[in-house]
Structures are given as C-alpha cells and as structure tokens.
Amino acid sequence: MDIRDRVRELRRVRAGDLLPNPANWRMHPPRQHDALRGILAEVGYADALLVRELPDGKLLLLDGHLRAETTPDMLVPVLVVDLNDAEAALLLAVLDPLSAMAGCNPARLEDLLSGLHTDNPAVQSLLDELLRLGELPPGAADAVEPGDCAAPAPHAFRILVTCRNEAEQLSLLQSLTEAGVACRALIS
C-alpha cells in the first residue's frame, strides 16, 4: 500500500481567521462546549486543527470547528493539508466516525480514570460519563474484549428488564441482538 503524507506544514493561525467548513455536519451541544472549555483551561491546546488552503490563501477547517469557535482570538496550531475538494469532503465525512469505531477495554479505562482529578464540573461530568462505560459486575472487566464498550451517547434511554433466570436473560439478549438492538447482560 502506497500511503502519501498529505500534511504540508504546521502553522500558528488566529482561530477566528479560519473559515468554518459549510459542509461540516457535526453539531456541538452545550455540554460539549462546556467540557471543551474546561479541558482547554486545565490542559490547553495539545492537538492541531486540520485545514486546507484555498486558492485565495484562506484556510478552510476540516477538523476543529468547536476549538476554533471557542478560542477565536487565540493563535492555534493548524496542520495544513494538500487535499483537493473531493478528498477534503471524504475526510470531513469520515474523520469523526472513523475515530468513533475504536473500541475500549473497560479495565484499562477504569484504571486510567481512577488516577484522574479535575475541579472543572463539565470535565468531571465527562469523566463520570466515561466511567459508566466501565460499569460491569466485579471481576467481569477482565473477561471483556477490547471493543465491547459503546461510546457514551449524549442521552441514553435505557430499559431494564428483570428476567426470571439466566436462560431467559440469554434468550432475550440473543433475540434483541439479532434484531440489531445494542444491549448487554448484567447480573446484580
């Protein structure tokens, strides 16, 4: 496989000078704004925004819209890529979903989160949400394969069904899974 390096350069650019991509399909709820402001306040910028240079020299965002919107007067790191219109559209469409395809290892997630502390309520809320990914019966996390966790949803609507026995639970789980319902078995 021949893989090209499409990054031309790293620049520092005033975030407010970057053009939002009119095709950006991602929405940013208020709680994401709050969490981003919190992590920027605690850690700062530790990742570059992704842009492509247009023929007139302006920079069009491909990734990092919320960061640019949050810090418009700040000089921020941007990676300038040499993508054409079609390649830029493809990347804009798949960049976040591709990242979201990654699974997680609940035991490692729990270990990572156990050592973290923040005084920012929005960041703490995000950490608490991540911690719920690792909520499994004691000892069960060791048996879970990486990828068995789902990413936290902005809102989760759940139904808890109490089964008479394990056989009924497994039968219901199998039926729901075959129907395409994202579900998992819990023992309490």
Which pLDDT value is given to residue 108? Answer: 85
* 126 Cβ contact list (under 8 Å, min separation 6): 35, 38
Distances (CA, A) of 182 to 91, 151, 158, 177, 187: 27, 12, 10, 7, 17
Here the contacts of 174-179 (C-beta below 8 Å, separation 24 or greater) are none
Angle, alpha carbons 14-68-8 (nearest 5°): 65
pLDDT tens string, the chain, 188 residues long: the values are 999 999 999 999 999 999 999 999 998 989 899 999 999 999 999 999 999 999 999 999 999 999 999 999 999 999 999 999 999 999 999 998 888 888 878 888 888 888 888 999 999 888 888 877 655 444 444 444 444 454 444 455 677 788 888 888 888 878 887 777 777 777 76
Angle, alpha carbons 51-52-55 (nearest 5°): 145
**Rounded-to-integer distance, Cα 177 and Cα 171, Å:** 10
**Rounded-to-integer distance, Cα 114 and Cα 93, Å:** 34
Q: Which residue has the tokens 């810090």?
A: 71
Which pLDDT value is given to residue 110? Answer: 84
Domain boundaries, the chain: 7-100, 103-152, 158-188
Which pLDDT value is given to residue 151? Answer: 43
**Rounded-to-integer distance, Cα 107 and Cα 168, Å:** 28
Between 3.20.20.100, 2.40.40.20, 3.20.20.10, 3.90.1530.10, what CATH number should domain 7-100 receive?
Answer: 3.90.1530.10
Name residue 75's beta-bridge partners: 14
Question: What are phi and psi for residue 89, nearest 5 degrees?
Answer: -65, -40
pTM (2 d.p.): 0.69
Which pLDDT value is given to residue 137? Answer: 42
- One DSSP character per residue, 111-149 reads HHHHT---S-HHHHHHHHHHHHHT--STTGGGGPPTT-S
